[in-house]
Copies of this chain bind each other. A is one copy, B any other.
Amino acid sequence: MGCVQSFRELCDRQKNTNVRLSLPAVCIVWQTAMIILFGVFIRYNEESSPRWVEYRKAKNISSDIENDFYFRYPSFQDVHVMIFVGFGFLMTFLKRYSFGAVGFNFLIAAFGLQWALLMQGWFHSLDYSDGKIKIGIENLINADFCVAGCLIAYGAVLGKVSPVQLMVLTLFGITLFAVEEYIILDLIHAKDAGGSMVIHTFGGYYGLSISWMLYRPNLDQSSRLQGSVYHSDVFAMIGTLFLWMFWPSFNSAITDHGDGQHRAAINTYLALAATVLTTVAVSSLFQKHGKLDMVHIQNSTLAGGVAVGTAAEFMLMPYGSLIVGFCCGIVSTLGYIYLTPFMEKYMKIQDTCGIHNLHAMPGVIGGIVGAITAAAASESVYGHEGLINTFDFEGEFKDMVPTRQGGHQAAGLCVAICFGVGGGIIVGCILRLPIWGDAADDNCFDDEAYWEIVSVKKKL
């Protein structure tokens, strides 16, 4: 800890937010690298190449409608909206950081999805016959998922970092994500349809650890800007609602065709509905005069979607989904009321958007729910084929049984936490270097640092 302390002092030099060289350099060089790597590695798969006609005939597929595109494209577009409008607008709640919220979200997501296509491709879609990654619609969805992990992390450091730091956070975040995802899904053979573990738990702890490393003791100098105004809260509700509405698509986007996608959508729909009621209840109960707090409505109402992620395709049952949502609304809202101030005061973790309450905790709950639901699976509930299909008890895992699957799920959760915390500390160290153009403590949460803003508006 002493070492960390002295390292911090080393880095607290005079701040300069001019990113005129570093930001264009990073964007141009990294984008050029993407073009080269895509040129070497990435090709269309058999469903998106013109050879689909021949493939269809060879495989005896009766109709174009059986192309995976038609199973997944509607969900993909919903997920895409969640990534860019959902996450972007959810973070516009700060009175003077809406440009940064929606604009930097846009930037890092656009970079991250390219890097994710490569990283995830190497692990999951590499065609060993020619050494190429073959992509289709499912790869695009997975790339968006991968980006979500980094956008969650952005929530913890919102307003306190430069766009260059965010690009670095994303580069490492995507890399770590792809590795932990490979370990959890392929090596450990845990299932995680909606990414409670691989996306939310990892992304949450990754962001919190970075925020801990970037602790700003004098952040209260920016407190005049660290709040919302009336219409910025309405903008944030656009983000909340698009996340909330499309979460059933998120959790069902890459589950099995047929009943898998169907069931995942139903479970998520129900969990989210229950969360809204308990969020409102707790928010009202713990404020004086019973007034509701917009922060809770904007964030905690989403916790049920996070927590139902892993188990969404399992036989969680409709009432099980409601129970998960019920609990998460309470836990998440109490987190905003008690835990966030506690963490800031005693643990030196400044969490701008409260991602601990919206992603990290519900993600862990989701991992546990998934482990229990998997361990409790039985042929009497799933049917013989249904059990095999749902849990992929095939190939090298054909002797797997539900109880052991439950253990594997728990192991997956631990891996996600370790990668999140460990990766966050390392990346946080890198981001402390005094070269990234982040703002001084009294200049955080202010779009003026990185955006041309007409001066007449300063009066607002």
Contact = CB atoms under 8 A, between A and B. Distances in A.
Interface of A: 18-21, 23-25, 27-28, 30-32, 34-36, 38-39, 42-44, 47-54, 56, 62-71, 73-75, 77-78, 80-81, 84-85, 88-89, 92, 96, 98-99, 102-103, 106-107, 110-111, 113-114, 135-137, 140, 163, 227-235, 237-238, 241-242, 244-246, 248-249, 257-259, 261-263, 265-266, 269-270, 272-278, 280-282, 284-285, 287-294, 297, 301, 315, 317-319, 322-323, 326, 381-383, 385-387, 389-390, 450-454, 456-457, 460
B322 A73 contact: no
Contacts of A452: 287, 291-294
A74 B387 CA distance: 28
Given A44-B259, A69-B262, 10 more contacts: A19-B284, A27-B277, A44-B318, A47-B259, A50-B387, A98-B230, A99-B294, A107-B280, A114-B273, A228-B454
Given A65-B66, A137-B262, A258-B64, A285 B24 contact: yes
User: Chain A at the B interface: mostly helix, strand, loop or mixed?
Assistant: helix
A63 B66 contact: yes
A34 B102 CA distance: 37
A384 to B, nearest CB: 8
Contacts of A84: 241, 244-245
A54 B282 contact: no
A318 B135 contact: yes
23 contacts: A19-B290, A23-B280, A24-B281, A24-B282, A31-B274, A49-B386, A51-B382, A53-B386, A54-B386, A62-B62, A64-B258, A65-B65, A81-B245, A88-B237, A98-B231, A99-B233, A99-B292, A103-B294, A107-B276, A110-B277, A114-B274, A231-B235, A291-B451
B137 A265 contact: yes
B235 A42 contact: no
Contacts of A238: 85, 89, 238
Given A241-B102, A245-B81, A18 B290 contact: yes
Counted per complex, copies of this chain come to 3
A70 B81 contact: no
A354 to B, nearest CB: 16
Given A78-B77, A277-B30, A290-B18, A51 B111 contact: no
A19 B284 CA distance: 8
Contacts of A38: 270, 318-319, 322
Contact of A315 (B24, B50, B135, B453): B50
Nearest to A387: B50
Contact of A258 (B19, B27, B69): B69
A77 B292 contact: no
A64 B257 contact: yes
Given A136-B262, A263-B49, A322-B114, A285 B20 contact: yes
Q: Which 9 A-B pairs have the closest CB atoms?
A: A20-B290, A50-B386, A52-B259, A110-B276, A64-B258, A27-B281, A39-B319, A64-B257, A24-B281
Contact of A64 (B71, B74, B244, B294): B71
Contacts of A111: 273, 276-277
